[in-house]
Structure 1
Amino acid sequence: MNFNHYFTNDELTAILSGWAAYYPSLVVLSSLGKSHEGREIPLLTLTNQATGPDTDKPAIWIDANIHATEVAGTTTALHIAHTLLSGYGTDSRCTRLLDTCAVYLAPRLNPDGAELALAALPKYIRSGTRPYPFDDKADGLHAEDMDGDGRILQMRIPDPNGDWKVSGLDPKLMEKRGPDEQEGSFYRLFEEGRIENYDGVQVREARPRQGLDFNRNFPFEWQPENEQTGAGPYPTSEVEIRAVVDFISRHPNINIAITYHTFSGVILRPFSTRPDDKMDVNDLWVYELMGERGKEITGYKCISVYHGFRYHPNEVTTGAFDDWAYDHLGIFAFTIELWDLPGRAGIADRDFIPWFRKHPHEDDVKILRWLEANAPADALVGWYAYNHPQLGPLELGGLNRMYTFRNPPHALMGEEAEKNTPYALALADMLPRLTLRELTATPLGDRRYRLRLVVENSGFLATNTSGQGQKRNAARPVRVELTLAAGAALLTGQWRTELGHLQGRSNKLDVTAHYGSSPTDNRAWTEWVVQGQPGDEIGVALLSDRAGNIRTSVTL
């Protein structure tokens, strides 16, 4: 399968349907719901159904392409699914994961936006296609492929009051005009597009007609439009987001979540609105350990949005998916920003957001040199004449940002996906897992038997996933239920017994072996005395919302 590719909705549907037909015991293809324009939002449920249904297993959630132009996430999600399916039966990790857990994978949450982004004549919007906050098209410049070449580039217009000039380091680049620079040729730069209600004088950036940001519409500290741009009229107002919230809320077996975005090459974690000292400290340590593992695998740093990925030092973002999943449900959720063009060009250890506001022009040259060596010729389009229907003669050109900054060049997409897939599998290997350690029936005489049960959590995370999960009562404690054979009687104990939550290894993070301690707080036990006939089957159901269910029996 070629992963150096960005998949249209039709191509995506064909691939998912093909997998469901070819791997019927491992894949269930369903729909989260319909988008604003009526497209299905596809969902893959990946698990070996022969070892039990998905709802009886701990699970990880993976989604992608919530933002319209961030199509690299879809390819990465498909790479994860392909790796698991093609590796089942031959690769020990893939086999183990599909046998013991469930993967809920939504490769494209925003099919309407992706349809526009991948069209022959593309249109780039932030998220969904529903007009918001108003139905009318605002006055000003709207991005558009004016010359019909399948790209939205930049417009360059000579202007003595312009704030740009041709680079002194390489004429292919534009460089910012100095604050006291008076002599020379200067230009204005605009995104390629058309001006609504142009008055012949003013060229202003227009408020987008499709101004929604789906990743501000989740029910975490949601704020209205005047406080948080793109948030929608109320939490989960958008059908795509309501479908995600509804599904995850109805699947308490989900412990870990990944949402794939672009760009920056960074693993983001909660909170967006609070400093780290407001997070449960044990959860923070677990998040940090998971993030360190991510850096080992992908090379991406892991940072909190609040501390390292804010768009303005005095503002925070609200209504984000990872914040909601962690804060409301105790799920360890990550936003992975795929692809890092500056990083590929050797610009390391930078502040991700502030770099765009201020960096040495030499960084732009590094990016140009990297693109010249590694990207197609049209990654940076030389300036060419174009007669704009409103602005008259000007030039089009500049970076083809869709496949340089926003997403990898096509030839590098597969490499980016391959780099990230092992981290998703590593996180899945951190799920809690309920296992049966002992189940015996010891004769006591007079048709009485002592039943003894020992259960343990063999996974890394606890059966409540996190301290936040415990605080929110997001998952019920581990419990056991007996089903007696006809004529049998329960003499001592309860037919339903609560065993409490079981720790895993996530509360044992100290690395100094000389002071090491490994308590068996991942185990629990209980006993009953039953009366019955030899050969009677006593049904035993071990139930955990987060760590899976086991249904077995013991013979008297």
Structure 2
Amino acid sequence: MNMKWIPYRGESYLDYPATIEWCQSLAKAYPDWVKLEEIGMSRHGRPILLITIGNMKGDYLSRPAFWTDGGTHASEWTGVMTVLYSVSKWIEGLSHNDKSLCEWFHRHTVFALPCISPDGFQALQQGEPFMRSTLRPPKEEEVRRGFEPCDVDDDNVVRWMRWKHPSGSFVIDEENPSLMRPRRLDDPTEKAYFFCQEGKFLQWDGISWTSASLKYGCDLNRNFPVFWKPYNMIGLDGGDYPLSEFESRLVFDTFVSRAYIAAAVTNHTYTGCILTAPHRPETPLPDSDILMMEALAKEAVVGTGYRVFRFYPDFVYDPKNLITGAWDETITCLFGIPAYSTELWDPYGFCGIHQTNPAREFIVPNFENILQMMRKFSSLPNTMTAWKPFDHPQLGNVEIGGIDYLRTIRNPPVNFLAAECQKGFQICDRIRKTLPDVYIKTKLIKFSENIMKLECIFENYGYLATNLLQHAETLRYPPKSSVKMSVSDNIKIVEGMLEQSVPSLDGWGMLSSIFKRHPTYAMLPQKSNATKITWLLQGNGSITIQWKMGRAGKGIEKINI
């Protein structure tokens, strides 16, 4: 092992330059197992990196693969760190010659993309105002007017700001004066405050207490093709058209070019759950796919304490404005690949609060629960900045300080980061084990002096079927299954076709029959996990069998007779 590379163990949040350096050191340390690619540049010229793990001595692109990524949203640092943590765990296992892991990576591949939105990720690491994804600027013709978050006290961090005003919607929390709580009817006017991120007014008329449109309003996870439409929620948008953004287009094209990806996890924060299909009532997925994906999700979270939610109807922000253009839904519905979103870290659960409907409570908040959570976090070390008076150029006397939102609510405090990364790794590791795994067995049966019968049996030992989802059978894009034979000149094919299509092979975890895994009404499925192809051959020489088994990859088998 090259000592210049150190496994990431969740001991701190790395910024993007450190992430790049870590990835480069990894690739140099383990060239037999790791390939590092720069798939393109972000809008502001930062490299977007893809880590490939597999046996580099063979054709790693021909094997069934697992995909994981993070950093679609700039503030969700835990997702980026979980990708690095997961890669570290797999590499440590390979470097210690873990038998099962080495065998798996000889037959499969992992693609890990740490950060989809490096510009926004690095901006927030450097103390810029909260943003959703990228640094896509406003349109040139857009006139922006109102309050804009920015660093007004020149300490290179955008914190919280409060100032007294009778129209304010907040008061100081009596139990913890470092916090603000929503104003109630019984609170006296003289205790009212305005409370928001630190910043200034653009083109202010001196009386209007309004926010400016977001400077960086693009949400990359609304910019992917499936069910895309113009979208707006709390000032965020899904881009001008599907894949209009540099980063989403790069990720999409990279994914498409890797034909044998068979499962995917995209990492987000926060809730402490895994989200599964469907995303909407008019989903193209059949019930069998939805049930299988949900069953797999429940197995994936074992030991993490995470919950499993269907996007629809369990994890809906606004029933009248369902999210569109999501990356995981694009992977599942456009490509026919089971894809999940993790929502790493449960700040409410950490503080002893149970949320029945986490997504809906984002839009219809429970103020008492939020205040209880804030009080808990404010009691931890290094989570609060004391309020300090500041002479604001527009507002006069204000105070700047407050809770570190990015390292308490959006992401765990650093002392709890490793435990959260471990949970994310456990989910990814369990899902990567479900990939289809096809073995080929050949048998020669002698009929006469120079007539042989060749049998080829293809059998899938994996959880997932070679076509992954039944929905994939309705799509043109996914790779199909076929077998092609070529023979030397002195061999004649007496019976059998040189090239033929073969059916997809079932997986042991699939719900191709409602009773397939039912303990009480167990029965064999209607679809087989194996298929056999036979030829009658005459003569002696060499035979080459080229096979493709859907998302289970492709291979070559050579036989001499």
> Same fold by TM-score, threshold 0.5 exceeded?
yes
The superposition leaves residues 380-407 of structure 1 with CA deviations (integer Å, 9 ceiling, x where unpaired) of 3332211112211111122211111111
2:499 is matched with which residue? 496
Deviates more, 1:354-363 or 1:207-216: 354-363
Give 1:548's match in structure 2, choosing from 538, 553, 560.
553
Aligned residue type for 1:483: S
The residue identity in structure 2 corresponding to 1:380 is: M
Which residue is equivalent to 1:162?
Answer: 168
CA deviations on 1:116-151 (whole Å, 9 max, x unpaired) are: 1112x4343221112144565611112122223343
Q: Does residue 57 of the first structure (1) align with residue 63 of the second (2)?
A: yes
Would you say 1:416 and 2:426 are equivalent positions? no
Contact 1:275 1:306 in 2 (8 A): no
**Partner residue in 1 for 2:215:** 209
How large is the Cα RMSD of the aligned pairs?
2.2
In the alignment, structure 1 residue 391 sits paired with structure 2 residue 372: no
**3-state SS in 2 of match to 1:322:** helix
- The structure 1 residue matched to 2:11, chosen from 4, 24, 27, is 4
Q: Who is 1:518 aligned against?
A: 524
1:529 positional shift: 1.1
Instruction: Tell me how far apart the structure 2 counterparts of residues 435 and 96 of structure 1 sit (CA, whole Å).
Output: 13
- Tell me which residue corresponds to 1:404: 408
Q: Does 1:194 align with 2:205?
A: no
- The answer to whether the Cα contact below 8 Å between 1:169 and 1:365 also exists between their aligned partners in 2 is no
Alignment match, 1:432:
436
Name the counterpart of 2:3.
Answer: none
Change (3 A) 1:298 1:399: same
Within a 5 Å distance, the mapping from 1:116-155 to structure 2 comes to 116-119=123-126, 121-134=127-140, 136=142, 138-155=144-161
What's the counterpart of residue 372 of structure 2? Answer: 365
Q: SS of the counterpart of 1:247?
A: helix
Letter in 2 for 1:551: I
Distance apart, 1:226 and its partner CA: 6.4
C-alpha contact 1:137 1:209 (8 A) present in aligned 2: no
Structural mapping, 1:230-379, within 5 Å: 230-274=237-281, 279-356=285-362, 357-359=364-366, 361=368, 364-372=371-379, 375-377=380-382, 379=383
| 2:104 alignment partner, SS class | helix
Contact 1:219 1:319 (C-alpha < 8 Å) held by counterparts: yes
Structure 2 residue aligned with 1:106: 113
* Secondary structure of residue in 2 paired with 1:327: helix
Structure 2 unaligned runs (5+)? 1-6
Supply the AA of the counterpart residue of 2:119.
D
- Partner residue in 2 for 1:482: 485
3-state secondary structure, aligned to 1:267: strand
**8 A Cα contact 2:263 2:338, kept in partner:** yes
- 2:466 corresponds to: 463
- Indicate conservation of the 8 Å contact 1:133/1:211, yes or no: no
Aligned residues: 547
Deviation at 1:81, TM superposition (A): 0.6
Q: Which amino acid aligns with 1:518?
A: L
Gaps of 5+ in 1: none
Comparing 175-184 with 485-494, greater Cα deviation is found at: 175-184
Q: CA deviation at 1:487?
A: 2.1
SS in 2 for 1:539: strand
Cα deviation per residue 1:292-314 (whole Å; 9 max; x = unaligned)? Answer: 12332322212122323322232
Distance in structure 2 (CA, Å) of the matches to 1:133 and 1:225: 16
Alpha-carbon distance in structure 1 between the residues aligned to 2:318 and 2:110: 35
1:181-217 Cα offsets, whole Å, 9 max, x none, are 4565111112111211122222311111222111111
Would you say 1:532 and 2:536 are equivalent positions? no
**CA offsets per residue over residues 500-525 of structure 1, 9 Å max, x none?**
11111112674443432235710100
The CA deviation at 1:319 is 0.6
User: Is residue 2:449 matched to residue 1:443?
Assistant: no
Q: Distance in 1 between matches of 2:236 and 2:299?
A: 34
- Report percent identity of matched pairs: 27
Amino acid at match of 2:55: N
Quickly say closer, same or farther: Cα 1:81–1:453, change in 2 above 3 A: same
Query: Which one-letter code corresponds to 1:550 in the other structure?
Result: G
Structure 1 position 225, deviation (Å): 5.0
State how far apart, in whole Å, the 1-side matches of 2:130 and 2:189 are. 37
Residues 167 and 124 (structure 1 numbering): CA distance in 2 closer, same or farther, change over 3 Å? closer
**Cα distance, 1:80 vs structure 2:** 0.7
Cα distance in 2, alignment partners of residues 366 and 154 from structure 1: 17
- Does the 8 A contact of 1:452 with 1:526 survive in 2? yes
Q: Hey, what's the Cα distance between the residues in 2 that align with 1:23 and 1:113?
A: 30
Taking the aligned partners of 2:141 and 2:298, their CA distance within structure 1 comes to 45
- Equivalent AA in structure 2 for residue 486 of structure 1: D
Structure 1 residues 474 and 434: alpha-carbon distance in aligned structure 2, compared to 1, 3 A threshold? farther
- The alignment's TM-score, normalised by the length of structure 1, stands at 0.93
TM-score, normalised via structure 2 length: 0.92
Worse-matched range after superposition: 462-471 or 199-208:
199-208
SS at match of 1:546: helix
